[in-house]
Structure 1
Amino acid sequence: YGDPGPMHGWKNAFDASEWGLGKMANSLEQGCDCLGEIRYLDAVMTGERGHPYVIPNAVCIHEEDVGIGWKHVDFAAGSTEVRRGRRLVVSSIVTAGNYDYGFYWYFHLDGTIEMEVKLTGIVTTIALSPGEMPTHAARITPELAAPNHQHLFCARLDVDLDGTDNSVYEVDVTADAAGADNPWGNAFTAHATLLDTEQAAQRVVDPGSSRVWKVVNPNVHNAAGDPVGYKLVPGPTPALLASPESSIGRRAGFATRNLWVTPYAPDERWAAGDYPNQNPGGDGLPRWTAADRPIVDTDIVLWHTFGVTHVVRPEEWPVMPVERTGFSFVPAGFFDANPALDVPPSHGSG
């Protein structure tokens, strides 16, 4: 939370490690949480005393239409080709106190893998004196304000792209200088920079340069002769705004960067470390990457921090409409052509 007052300055919930996202999973209902032809999976959890218990229908798997997958109109031939897009959805929803989070993995016909988090629920509030104008909160009624806050998630992506010998490039698109090689002044170039060590791979998003991070296997090539690859496409996501010296800044060091890359290690599973509850800080990704291990042509793990900086609106009270955040993992040379070319045409009225 971004309010320094005594009621909220100390609040920094680690929903996954302090609360346990799995324990807070909802039992999903057909027709409300999921629509269509559905397969549910139960979740078996461990209780406080070590006994197992079951959350029925904790995971929903279904398929849904997502509009046009691809289309072209050939005016010369007088023909149109269009195919519908579909995606497989694997989802779960958890309730963490006043907030509800929906986690959705989408698997598209063109090979894109997408992660979306849907945020809803009830925002935390502060009582206001008559006429009070809060500095670190937004008024939602004359008597209530909601403190500014951030929701930050870290996805651990254990990528094995056509094998385990992978590397990561940061790709930025920049305008070329005008000159003999750019007489029209219109040129721009995608520049790929190899991230060769853990320290070099601590990165932040840059929408101005259309920054993406591309994972390649230099030992496997596509039909064009280039290494096969997938690119991590971030959204317009923030990093942690709290001071590095703050309690949350020390304990959630992973959130100060949008990308970390580490060599695969089976005991490195949680971005904030194994025991963040009341931890003084410095554990997890900051501690592991201090060794500055090499990450070229080896088995690597990408850690992507993404989320929302939330300045609350009156329209988000008393129940918040869904706010979305996430990222995409998109084929970039992994296939030799559009993998959705063989999708059959749809037939229907409209």
Structure 2
Amino acid sequence: MTEPTHPLDMLTADEIARGRAILAREGRITEHTLFPNVLLVEPDKDAVRAFRPGDALDRKILFVSLERDTGVSTETVVSLADDAIERTTTVPSGEFPYGQPPYAWEEFDAVERLVKASPEWQAAMRRRGLEDRMEHAFCGPLAPGYFGYEDEIGRRMVRSLTFLRESPGDVAWSHPVEGLLVTLDLTSGKVVSIFDEGDVATAEISGRYDTEAVGPARTDLKPIEITQPEGPSFSVDGGEVSWQGWRFRVGFSSREGLVLNQVTYRDGDEDRPVLYRASIPEMVVPYGDNSRNRYWISYFDAGEYNLGKNANSLALGCDCLGVIHYFDGVVADDFGNPMPIPQVVCMHEEDFGVLWKHTELGYRPDVRRQRRLVVSYFATVGNYDYGFYWYFYLDGSIEVEAKATGIVFNGSGVPGAEERHRLEIAPGLFAPVHQHLFCARLDVEVDGPDNYVDEVDVVRIPMGEENPYGNAFTWSRTRLEHEGGRDGNGAAGRTWHIGSKTRTNAVGKPTEFQLIGQDLPVLMADPGSSVYQRAGFATKHTWVSKFEPGEYWPAGDYPNQHAGGAGLPAYTADGDDVDGGDIVVWHTFGPTHLPRPEDFPIMPVDVYRFHLKPYGFFDRNPALDVPDWSAPAEGGSCCSHEGHGATGLPVYGKD
């Protein structure tokens, strides 16, 4: 996309370049300036809803800049229509509760140089007998968390762990140097402290997983070919997608990656709204190892590292299979210049088994096949790779998946040792227990912007007057009247019904979508811990908040080195009324990972998901008109009632 045609279209290369030029003209860029974030400022909802093709666009860009020599960060909003700076605000990184913008790649590149130049680090490596391996060592740059340490408060800090490589192309993650931790001040460019303790030997097992290391590939796996001779069933107009009743706009940002806007479903002659905006704007990866090397690890992969900026260019036959449509993305590089990411979002159709089926006694079966539209992207943040998938189905449901793969974060240990917080996945190589907790932001709009949320549980009825035979059970509905977070309850089959306050269905009930989660563990850290305060969104499965402009980030605007309390806990602190009106539903999901040997040297994909399922949104099954694609059998289709008299099947109740 080279020119935006809609207010919610993703930023183009020309727009980023024009915005940067305004900053340069106004003297806002120096030789020390980096840009940790450059984001579209989304217009007011009413303005977006009123927009018609051909209307003038009022595009605005938020440039978050960082002066490397002072550590001062600034938010500057640029109006492209006015060719001017609209406002400027200093990020209060030096004031409680602090917080820093995400890291720039330039800063990460500096970490290894600073660590390797440190005499203390060199001495620690020599003490371990590793002086001959320092050249190829990898000094990983890692967000430090927040612990109120006096020499870190309000300063732009980073920590670094050391891993060995046999050569520049070697996989470093399987050779961790245990007991060596470096803390740096990025503004001063100095090492603040070095922790050097213990004499655990560095694990030497190879972590390579390339063909040369693994050996010959299998020869008995036959190819699978996916063909659509008449082309795909979707159509794309700029950033707008139409497929089988579904219509939505594809966006992309450097912080949260894939964004879906204005999701509607065509029902008869009406496009019925479901979601105004949907994305996965944050995730936290807290580690459960309390060693000095790792107690501080709790990565916020969007707010500290920028998920979208770390997105992959996707490849046909590898990341995506079939007849593919790609969306190119553009983010800003560290210096505020446009940086294209070709083929960053992949979209295709895929078969998904049986949609519905029934066999009437004495008749041939009726069956239709399910199909789904897949919209996805992948991001690599350090050792882990994450895939984010949005599925749209023929029956009007939506499924969201996060896929985790890559390489688990390892430390060295004594082979055969039993530890409480780490598991041995290869001889002498230990992976800490940890979690990956994703948070989806669903700006819901079920049949319009006047919605509610009911918490629905199934309920056992004690045997007695109300249940004389003991077989009965029922359900309960609890209206969520005020902002806040809610726990899942798998034993009660808990779901959350998001409904319209203004529209009813054929049986007189409000039209709804049902949020169905997996009810896996939320944040395992103690409520008194730093990460519990900083990752408050991950302490509940589902949150409901009143919509407020600018409230996009589950852990707050600047979770990096933030003391905590920002994001969802702050958004919902007032307890505003959410029984009607414009509301946002947030859902936390993801794995609690106890690593296993099968996760080495590279982890097979783990998949975690939730569903949005129509519940009285339609008056009946919306997929009755899906065509029968089966080959016709003699006497009629094998998947319909046509020709049932020649089925040859027994007709019960007759001779």
TM over 0.5: yes
Please, which runs of 5 or more residues in structure 2 have no aligned partner? 1-286, 633-637, 639-655
Q: Percent identity?
A: 52
| SS in structure 2 of the partner of residue 18 of structure 1 | coil
Larger gyration radius, structure 1 or structure 2 = 2
1:13 counterpart SS class: strand
Specify which of 308, 312, 315 is matched with residue 591 of structure 2.
Answer: 308
Does residue 358 of structure 2 align to residue 83 of structure 1?
Answer: no
How far 1:236 sits from its partner (Å)?
3.0
Code of the residue aligned with 1:224 in structure 2: it is V
**2:519–2:541: 8 Å Cα contact kept in structure 1?**
no
Matched, 1:231 2:514: yes
Q: Does 1:143 align with 2:428?
A: yes
| 1:274-293 map, 5 Å | 274-293=557-576
For 2:486 and 2:624, the matched residues in 1 are separated by 35
Inter-partner Cα distance in structure 1 for 2:516 and 2:631: 34
Q: CA deviation at 1:312?
A: 0.6
Rounded Cα–Cα distance in structure 2 between residues aligned with 1:175 and 1:131:
47
**What SS does structure 2 have at the residue aligned with 1:23?**
helix
Paired with 1:27 and 1:266, the residues of 2 have a C-alpha distance of 31
1:110 aligns with 2:395: yes
The structure 2 residue matched to 1:206, chosen from 477, 489, 493, is 489
Aligned to 1:193: 478
The 3-state SS of whatever aligns with 1:16 is coil
Indicate which of 291, 298, 321 corresponds to 1:5.
291
Are residues 1:345 and 2:628 paired? yes
Residue by residue over 1:291-347, the C-alpha shift from the partner in whole angstroms, topping out at 9 and shown as x without a partner, is 110001111000111111000111111110110111000000000011111001112
Q: Could you say which residue in structure 1 is the equivalent of 2:615? A: 332
Matched, 1:319 2:624: no
- How many angstroms apart in 2 are the aligned matches of 1:288 and 1:34? 37
User: Where does 1:61-72 land on structure 2 (aligned, <5 Å)?
Assistant: 61-72=347-358
Residue of structure 2 in register with 1:18 after alignment: 304
Once the two structures are superposed, the pairs formed by residues 234-249 of structure 1 within 5 Å of their partners are: 234-249=517-532
Contact 2:416 2:424 in 1 (8 A): no
Return the alpha-carbon distance in structure 2 between the equivalents of residues 290 and 74 of structure 1: 55
The residue aligned with 2:251 is none
Which among 582, 597, 600 is matched to residue 299 of structure 1? 582
DSSP 3-state at the match of 1:250: helix
The answer to whether the 8 Å contact 2:455/2:479 transfers is: yes
SS at 1:287's partner residue?
A: helix
Q: Distance in 1 between matches of 2:451 and 2:466?
A: 34
Q: CA deviation at 1:237?
A: 2.1
Q: CA deviation at 1:8?
A: 1.1
Does 2:369 match 1:100? no
Compute the TM-score of the two structures, normalised by the length of structure 2. Answer: 0.52
Question: Which range is displaced more, 124-133 or 328-337?
Answer: 124-133
Structure 2 distance, partners of 1:172, 1:329, is 17
**2:334 pairs with one of 23, 29, 48:** 48
Report the Cα offset of residue 131 of structure 1. Answer: 3.3
CA contact (8 A) 1:264 1:300 kept: yes
CA distance in 2, matches of 1:100, 1:185: 50
CA apart distance, 1:174: 1.2
SS in 2 for 1:140: strand
* CA deviation string 1:62-101 (max 9, x = no partner): 00000000000112x3221000000000000011110000
Aligned residues: 347
Describe the SS at the equivalent of 1:17: coil
Counterpart of 1:59 (choices 331, 337, 345) is: 345
Contact between 2:415 and 2:429, CA under 8 Å: does it hold in 1?
A: no
Q: Quote how far apart the aligned CAs of 1:348 are.
A: 4.3
RCO higher in structure (CA 8 A, sep ≥6): 1
- What TM-score does the superposition give when structure 1 sets the normalisation length? 0.97
Q: Is it true that 1:163 corresponds to 2:448 in the alignment?
A: yes
1:244, 1:36 → 2: CA distance?
47
The partner residue of 1:260 within 510, 532, 543 is 543
Give the aligned partner of residue 320 of structure 2. 34
- Tell me how far 1:124 sits from its aligned partner: 0.9
Instruction: Name the aligned partner's letter for residue 287 of structure 1.
Output: A
Q: Which amino acid aligns with 1:37?
A: V
- CA-based RMSD of the aligned residues comes to 1.3
State the distance in 1 between where 2:448 and 2:582 align.
8
State the Cα distance separating 1:184 from its structure 2 match. Answer: 1.5
Quote the Cα distance in structure 2 between the aligned partners of 1:130 and 1:183.
61
- Quick one: distance in 2 between partners of 1:98 and 1:235? 26
Give, in angstroms, the shift of residue 28 of structure 1.
0.3
Aligned AA (1:248): V
Instruction: Name the SS for the 2:560 alignment partner.
Output: coil
Q: 1:123 — aligned with what?
A: 408
Contact preservation (8 Å) 1:134, 1:145:
no
* CA–CA distance in structure 2, aligned partners of residues 264 and 287 of structure 1: 13
